[in-house]
Amino acid sequence: MSRKEGDKAYATYVHYQAFSSDMPIHQINQTNWYLKFEDNLPAFFIKADDVFRQMPPLAFFATAERSTIYDFTGWQEQTETYFKLTIEEIKCLTDIERLKNLPSIPPLEKTSSTLEN
């Protein structure tokens, strides 16, 4: 499912067929977390009911590392194998993309420390 050019919001898909129609996906064990490339970058999706929502990479990594509810056994190997990248490379790519999507704020000419009273 393509998005408008310049759309920087996280993706949402309704129904498995829409989610998996454009490329193979990978489910981590029997959890509700899925891996997929989105705009040629590693992406992490959580399934709730029949909706697949893209989540921030840090949400996936925190859940995978700390979850006591779901079986994330071997999640690092599965993630590296699916994306054909190391965890460090995945984090680097997703951090760079996140930084590019932050709004641009021009620097202030004066800051509170330079303002005269």
pLDDT score recorded for residue 81: 98
> What does the pLDDT look like over 50-98, one tens digit per residue?
999 999 999 999 999 999 999 999 999 999 999 999 999 999 988 765 5
Angstrom distances, CA of residue 19 to CA of 16, 60, 73, 91, 100: 5, 18, 24, 23, 25
Predicted model pTM: 0.75
- Domain assignment of residue 60, given as a range: 12-97
**26 within 8 A of 78, measured Cβ to Cβ:** yes
Q: What local confidence, expressed as pLDDT, does residue 43 receive?
A: 95
Tokens found for residue 83: 């994306």
Inside any domain, residue 108 = no
Q: How many domains does the chain have?
A: 1
Gap between the Cα atoms of 83 and 79, Å rounded: 6
The per-residue pLDDT of the chain, averaged, comes to: 83
Question: What totals of helices (H) and strands (E) does the chain contain, helices first?
Answer: 4, 5
The Cα 89–Cα 42 span in angstroms is 10
Q: Over the stretch 6-36, which tens digit does the pLDDT of each residue have?
A: 555 789 999 999 999 888 999 999 999 999 9
In a domain, 114, yes or no: no
Q: Which two tokens stand for residue 97?
A: 């993309």
Please report, as a single letter, which amino acid is at residue 85. Answer: L
pLDDT of 109 above 90: no
Closest CA to 43 of 12, 17, 71: 12
- 114 sits in the region (left: phi over 0; alpha: psi -120 to 50; else beta) called alpha
Q: What is the pLDDT of residue 4?
A: 52
Residue 3, in any domain of the structure: no
Q: State the amino acid at position 42 in one-letter form.
A: P
